[in-house]
Amino acid sequence: MFRFAFTGAAFVALLSLLAFSRSSVQPTPPPSWLDPHRGNVERLIKEAQADQFAWNRLAELTDTFGARFSGSDNLARAIVWATETMKKDGLENVRTESVMVPRWVRGNESLELMAPPQQALPMLGLGGSVGTPAGGIEADVIVVKTFDELNQRAGEVKDKIVLFNAVYTSYGQTNAYRTGGASAAARHGAVASLVRSIGPTGLRTPHTGNQTYAEGVPRIPTAAITAEDAERLQRLADRGERIRVRLRMDARTEADVESFNVVGEIRGSELPDEIVLVGGHFDSWDVGTGASDDGVGCIVTWEAARLMTKLGIRPRRTVRVVLFTNEENGIRGGNAYRDLYLQQAEQHVLAIESDSGVFAPARIGFTGSEAATRMMRDIGTLLAPLGLDNMGPGGGGADIGPIAAAGKVPMLAYQGDAARYFTIHHTPADTIDRIAPEEVSKAAAALAAITYVVADARERLPR
């Protein structure tokens, strides 16, 4: 989902920026402390890039199980597969850890333009939305571009359906219309709300995603429409045409169901209680096959441990892979992990998440103290063969956020190209075919190298 880096992380990102800019005034030769690790780093990178193993595993996952939405049979089956496969890989202490997750059911849904008559508009209900009555809600549409415009035109909103036609600039800037649009509209008496999909214009591609109702405000149905249709309705409104739609959504929230984080380890040879945590989230939205969000993040972080196991590399500290459940509509997996390991939070040396795809050009982001940043920049020099030695700020992740906050744990993120990622984010087009095998291998190589060095280094990564 890629939420953390754009929300609570603002202040740490600033700290991190300062750390990066300071250290950049002192160019240093490659530090000698890395020397004992260079050989294994080279082996890990070579092995990761020797074939398409990681891409093939991602294909097996996404082809076989498809979308893995919280509470779905597909996710449950995929979790069984991941657990068994981790064991076959030779990871240690492979286990599932129970997490109660929400179960939102999309059901049938449709949006029909009634005036001017008459055409179905592609749409996706937003996660957590209530449904409409069985016959749907038919109402006139008011189109606004911003929350400010909504407030200025508050008198026109009652009994209408509000369309937020906010042009996508970045996920961080535009996302608020998806997450908060329904309640903003309901405050002024709207009967439903629509949001222009959060992402670059695709091919009439709606983007789903979660939304949250504010307390004390009526809960109204809410859905995303495509950029193309948002512009179309905007033009009709600008021409003074009456716009009327019928929205039908069966959406409902059922009782929580049990799901699991999947955990596998390489126990540390000398400091097994110190943990380098690497992972992604194994759940996805119910459209697409969750390839970039976040199947690939799970596969490439899992690869860090698999590659070490295959090459017989056991670092001094424990490497722990976690495939978190329910990031998309709850972050229950990340919260449950924190709750379960709260007493060991400070024993987490580094938390690594991959949850923004692996599309080229990728970069690595780190968030930590100045001392930690210096050490990570040293490690970053080992990634020069991958073209990833330009480590920058922006470490973080929704799933590692809770444990990191509890233990003041430095965070690292693998960040794929945002333009490509957000084009398919939360859409049916989040599929594997658009991810190049070499992009997956490169991410696996980089994360394996970083994980290994941090886990094996004499010096613990500073707080």
The set of catalytic residues is 327
Residue 227 or 398 with smaller CB distance to a copy of itself:
227
| Alpha-carbon distances, residue 229 vs 5, 61, 444 (angstroms) | 30, 33, 39
For residues 224 and 222, give the distance between their C-alpha atoms in angstroms, rounded to a whole number.
7
8 Å CB contact between 101 and 325:
yes
Q: Is 422 in the site for a copy of itself (CB under 8 A)?
A: no
Nearest distance in Å: CB 124, a copy of itself = 12
Residue 128 or 202 with smaller CB distance to a copy of itself:
202
Q: Is 84 in the site for a copy of itself (CB under 8 A)?
A: no
Give the CA radius of gyration of the chain: 23
Nearest distance in Å: CB 44, a copy of itself = 27
Q: Please name every residue paired with 421 in a beta bridge, in sequence order, or none if there are none.
A: none
Size of the site for a copy of itself (CB under 8 A): 41
Q: Is 66 in the site for a copy of itself (CB under 8 A)?
A: yes
What 3-state DSSP class applies to 403? helix
Choose, by CB under 8 A, the member of 46, 235, 242, 252 that binds a copy of itself.
235
Half-sphere exposure for 65 (CA within 13 Å, toward CB): 26
Nearest distance in Å: CB 119, a copy of itself = 4
User: Between 193 and 222, how does the x/- string for binding to a copy of itself read (CB under 8 A)?
Assistant: --------xxxxx-----------------
The stretch near a copy of itself (CB under 8 A) out of 95-103, 231-239, 253-261, 331-339 is 231-239
Closest C-alpha among 319, 147, 137, 150 to residue 245: 137
Q: Is 118 in the site for a copy of itself (CB under 8 A)?
A: yes
The stretch near a copy of itself (CB under 8 A) out of 6-14, 150-158, 177-185, 236-244 is 236-244
Q: Is the dihedral of CA 228, 234, 236, 239 positive or negative?
A: negative
Choose, by CB under 8 A, the member of 20, 53, 55, 65 that binds a copy of itself.
65
Token code pair at residue 330: 């709850």
Question: Which long-range CB contacts under 8 A does 151-155 form with residues at least 24 apart?
Answer: 151/188, 154/188
Residue 241 or 273 with smaller CB distance to a copy of itself:
241
Nearest distance in Å: CB 356, a copy of itself = 18
Token code pair at residue 366: 């780190």
Q: Is 58 in the site for a copy of itself (CB under 8 A)?
A: no
Choose, by CB under 8 A, the member of 51, 63, 254, 339 that binds a copy of itself.
63
SS3 content of the chain, % helix, strand, coil (to 5): 40, 25, 35
Q: Encode burial over 154-191: b for 16+ CB neighbours within 10 A, e otherwise.
A: eeebeebbbbbbbebeebeebbebbbbbbbbbbbbbbb
Token code pair at residue 428: 């049916």
Pairing of strands 348-354, 271-281: parallel
Q: Is 64 in the site for a copy of itself (CB under 8 A)?
A: yes
Nearest distance in Å: CB 24, a copy of itself = 39
Region 238-297 residues binding a copy of itself, contact defined as CB under 8 A: 239, 241, 288-289
The stretch near a copy of itself (CB under 8 A) out of 84-92, 181-189, 385-393, 428-436 is 428-436
Query: Could you list the residues that contact a copy of itself (CB under 8 A)?
Result: 59-60, 62-67, 73-74, 77, 113, 116-119, 122, 201-205, 227-228, 231-232, 235-236, 239, 241, 288-289, 423-424, 427-429, 431-434
